[in-house]
């Protein structure tokens, strides 16, 4: 398998999952400006949407969208690991977290990377994102280690990735003590450390 990624982007989530599952895979960086891969290939020929992550399987099939990729990986290679078995209530809860992170946190963060955003618009978007972060803070406020305690799941990898963007979008994560502690806890995982090092983020 080959994961097409951009350092520090949302592709970090499936990158972490690949390493958590100890699967063999290759990495190829994508320049989001030129849409060229490190080998000089046109990334839009691999993923017409032009976004990372994209996972090229051994048979040439390409999967896109991080939440879909991580579910494929656990169901295909380690059912019941990093996500409960498909069809269970427990799995539905993990999927619920994945969907919330994708639609609310991820989409809430992206506009804040735009340096041309007007200050008034930035304030509005930031306040909206902060409300979503408060939702996640309350989930963790009962002292659980992970979103669906006690086990680390694919949803935690995705949440960690979103929280890692906070310095780049001027969000002080320390305002939410449980989220800050969660981020540090996930950061300490060996697979996370390895993924960050491979992406040159250490």
For residue 126, give the CATH number of its domain: 1.20.1050.10
Strands (E), 19-115: 26-31, 36-37, 54-56, 62-64
Q: What percent of the chain has pLDDT over 90?
A: 99
Tell how many helices (H) and how many strands (E) occur in the chain. 9, 5
Pairing of strands 2-5, 26-31: parallel
pTM over 0.75: yes
8 A C-beta contact, residue 97 and residue 148:
yes
* Joined tokens for residue 119: 């200050």
Note the pLDDT of residue 71. 98
Kindly report, residue by residue over 1-35, the tens digit of the pLDDT: 999 999 999 999 999 999 999 999 999 999 999 99
The answer on 117 and 146 residing in a single domain is yes
**Is residue 84 in a domain?**
no
Q: State the chain's mean pLDDT as an integer.
A: 97
* Joined tokens for residue 153: 């799941």
Is the pLDDT score of 202 beyond 90? no
The answer on 27 and 72 residing in a single domain is yes
**Is residue 52 in a domain?**
yes
4 sits in which H/E element: strand 2-5
Kindly report, residue by residue over 72-125, the tens digit of the pLDDT: 999 999 999 999 999 999 999 999 999 999 999 999 999 999 999 999 999 999
What whole-number distance in Å separates Cα of residue 82 and Cα of residue 58? Answer: 22
The answer on 51 and 18 residing in a single domain is yes
What whole-number distance in Å separates Cα of residue 138 and Cα of residue 155? Answer: 16
The answer on 118 and 37 residing in a single domain is no
Range of the domain at 170: 89-189
Q: What is the mean pLDDT of residues 187-195?
A: 98
Note the pLDDT of residue 95. 97
The answer on 53 and 137 residing in a single domain is no
Note the pLDDT of residue 86. 95
């Amino acid at each position: 398998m080959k994961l097409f990624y951009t350092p520090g982007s949302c592709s970090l989530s499936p990158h972490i999952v690949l390493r958590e599952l100890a699967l063999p895979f290759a990495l190829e960086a994508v320049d989001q400006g030129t849409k060229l891969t490190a080998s000089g290939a046109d990334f839009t020929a691999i993923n017409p949407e032009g976004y990372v992550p994209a996972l090229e399987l051994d048979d040439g099939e390409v999967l896109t969208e991080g939440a879909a990729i991580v579910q494929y990986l656990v169901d295909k290679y380690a059912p019941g690991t990093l996500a409960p078995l498909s069809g269970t209530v427990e799995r539905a809860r993990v999927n619920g977290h994945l969907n919330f992170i994708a639609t609310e946190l991820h989409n809430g963060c992206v506009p804040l990377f735009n340096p041309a955003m007007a200050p008034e618009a930035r304030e509005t978007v930031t306040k909206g994102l902060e409300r979503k972060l408060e939702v996640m803070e309350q989930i963790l406020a009962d002292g659980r280690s992970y979103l669906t305690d006690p086990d680390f799941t694919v949803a935690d990898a995705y949440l960690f990735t979103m929280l890692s963007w906070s310095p780049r979008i001027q969000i002080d994560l320390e305002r939410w003590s449980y989220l800050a502690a969660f981020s540090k806890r996930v950061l300490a995982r060996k697979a996370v450390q390895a993924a960050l090092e491979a992406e040159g983020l250490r």
